[in-house]
Amino acid sequence: SQQGEEDPQALSIQEGENATMNCSYKTSINNLQWYRQNSGRGLVHLILIRSNEREKHSGRLRVTLDTSKKSSSLLITASRAADTASYFCATDQGGAQKLVFGQGTRLTINP
Amino acid sequence: DAGVIQSPRHEVTEMGQEVTLRCKPISGHDYLFWYRQTMMRGLELLIYFNNNVPIDDSGMPEDRFSAKMPNASFSTLKIQPSEPRDSAVYFCASSWGNRGRSPLHFGNGTRLTVT
């Protein structure tokens, strides 16, 4: 079963704009991770946020976590064509080793 | 570091045939995961190993699926007999450490088509 659900399912924006993707989950977590998947490739880890953190930055990426609402968001600032990919959140379901992935958001950056 | 290596990249087979997917994890990683990705069901965890021992195989869909990890540098996922509904991209991933704090490193997957 899917733990995380991303919203929107697809997003298309112009290069230079900011992109925001949301993830909701159902059970308590210790950590939440975001991954990117380019077409025909495996997933690549972007950032991890712990349940006691509210916000985390990495370059042009900003992740927020609201455990009371069981939701997280990924913001990509100043988007580039190379950011075109699918983005997935993954949760550890209360500390289990296995990660459960959402369905992903397909992001398209138009030049 | 070569990353997680999967083979073959593409596999086309006929229904009823045996299929074996292979994975070499990153050296030093103690966890190995097999995922399946389809448009309908997304990414599903099939099984994972810790120090070569299967820990959770609750995601393995049927007895037709089996996975082994004979040593720290090699794992296989076998489907016998294969069916058209097994068509999907199969990913292997590895990590070091536990409790969901460790990033997973994915291979580029094996695209399986069963006709």
Q: pLDDT of A16-53, one tens digit each?
A: 999 999 999 988 888 999 999 999 999 999 999 999 99
The 10 Å CB-count burial string (b at 16+, else e) for B32-55 is bbbbbbeeeebbbbbbbbeeeebb
The whole-angstrom distance between B114's CA and the closest CA on chain A is 18
The whole-angstrom distance between A33's CA and the closest CA on chain B is 8
**Nearest Cβ partner for A96 among B35, B100, B105:** B100
pLDDT of residue B8: 98
How confident is the model over B54-70, as pLDDT tens digits?
999 999 988 999 999 99
Quote the mean pLDDT of chain A: 92
B33: closest CA among A77, A36, A96? A96
Cα–Cα dist B107/B99, whole Å: 21
- Does B28 reach chain A within 8 Å, measured CB to CB? no
Whole-number Cα distances in Å, A15 to A12, A81, A83, A88, B12: 10, 6, 9, 21, 38
pLDDT of residue A99: 87
Quote the mean pLDDT of chain B: 94
Residues of chain B with pLDDT under 70: 1, 98-100
